[in-house]
């Protein structure tokens, strides 16, 4: 007798898409640096590859996509040499060595990370995140044990996921919707929280519900050459463009757009 067994399939999504605009693009690659691992789609795999090549100052040969990837070179295991006996160190030297080991162990730890929600005045998506990285932080799309701050830009109150993460973990908030505040903090070399956490946005100024507003954004985006999914999250840059277009429109026209 045959038995049918249903096995759940877990789908990995691209961390770069999730951090950028909240969209869920299926991941096909994994990037690991130290203790950190990211799931990436084909698009962001190429972006990160170019970034690493530029950062290392060395080029890599162009890959021929028409050919299969070469087999990895075999790894040869080499036996470690027998340890050479040494003289027993003096008590003073042993004490100093133990202190050095404890100091190096205490210095090791996770790199603090920051979440960014919304658009930042005077910066595009990548330059804002690079400015944060230059101060020694990682930029993540979802909060974890290393996350120390949430930066809220224009439209940041629409990302309910990041706002919930900040509320659940009690993260400090830096509201940079005031023009120039983020730039001044970067120049000073210090990101400081202390602002109230915004409430998640439910209804816009036109009085439309979130569902009605999403329909209006999708209609406008397709009519103006943007590509948006039929369901799920609308990319943040499309929402922002729609808002800029309808910012000064009367309520009736905005609702009918």
Q: pLDDT tens digits for the chain (257 residues)? A: 666 655 555 667 787 777 777 777 777 888 787 777 878 788 878 887 777 777 676 554 554 444 455 555 554 555 555 665 655 555 444 444 444 545 544 556 789 999 999 899 889 989 999 999 999 999 998 999 999 999 999 888 878 889 999 999 999 999 999 999 999 999 999 999 899 998 887 655 565 667 778 888 999 999 999 989 988 889 989 988 988 887 755 444 444 44
Element (H or E) spanning 180, and its range? none
Domains of the chain (ranges; CATH) run 15-56 (no CATH), 113-188 (3.40.50.10190), 210-256 (4.10.320)
- Sheet with 147-152: strands ordered across: 138-139, 113-117, 147-152, 173-175
| DSSP per position, 59-87 | --PPP-TTSPPPPPPPPPP-PPPPPPP-P
What is residue 125's three-state secondary structure?
helix
Q: Which residues contact 191 (CB under 8 A, 6 or more apart)?
A: 114, 132, 135, 137, 149, 151, 174, 185
Burial (0-12, 13-18, 19+ Cβ within 10 Å), 117: buried
Residues linked to residue 37 through DSSP beta bridges, in sequence order: 32
Helix, strand, coil in percent for the chain, rounding step 5: 40, 10, 50
Sign of CA dihedral 56, 60, 62, 68: negative
Rounded-to-integer distance, Cα 251 and Cα 231, Å: 25
């Amino acid at each position: 007798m045959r038995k049918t067994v249903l096995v759940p399939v877990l789908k990995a999504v691209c961390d770069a898409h999730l951090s950028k605009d909240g969209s869920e693009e299926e991941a096909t690659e994994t990037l690991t640096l130290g203790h950190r691992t990211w799931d990436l789609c084909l698009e962001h795999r190429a972006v990160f590859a170019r970034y690493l090549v530029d950062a290392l100052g060395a080029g890599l040969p162009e890959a021929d996509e028409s050919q299969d990837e070469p087999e990895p070179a075999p790894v040869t295991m080499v036996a470690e040499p027998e340890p050479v006996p040494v003289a027993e160190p003096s008590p003073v030297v042993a004490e100093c060595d133990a202190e050095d080991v404890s100091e190096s162990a205490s210095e090791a730890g996770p790199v603090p990370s920051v979440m960014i929600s919304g658009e930042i005045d005077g910066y595009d998506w990548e330059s804002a995140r690079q400015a944060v990285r230059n101060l020694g932080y990682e930029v993540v799309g979802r909060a974890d044990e290393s996350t120390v701050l949430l930066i809220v830009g224009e439209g940041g109150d629409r990302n309910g996921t990041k706002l919930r993460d900040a509320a659940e973990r009690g993260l400090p908030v830096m509201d940079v919707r005031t023009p120039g505040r983020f730039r001044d903090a970067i120049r000073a070399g210090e990101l400081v929280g202390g602002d109230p956490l915004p409430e998640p946005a439910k209804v816009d100024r036109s009085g439309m519900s979130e569902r009605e507003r999403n329909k209006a954004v999708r209609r406008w985006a397709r009519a103006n050459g943007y590509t948006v999914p039929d369901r799920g999250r609308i990319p943040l840059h499309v929402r922002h463009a729609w808002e800029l277009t309808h910012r000064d429109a009367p309520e009736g026209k905005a609702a009918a757009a």
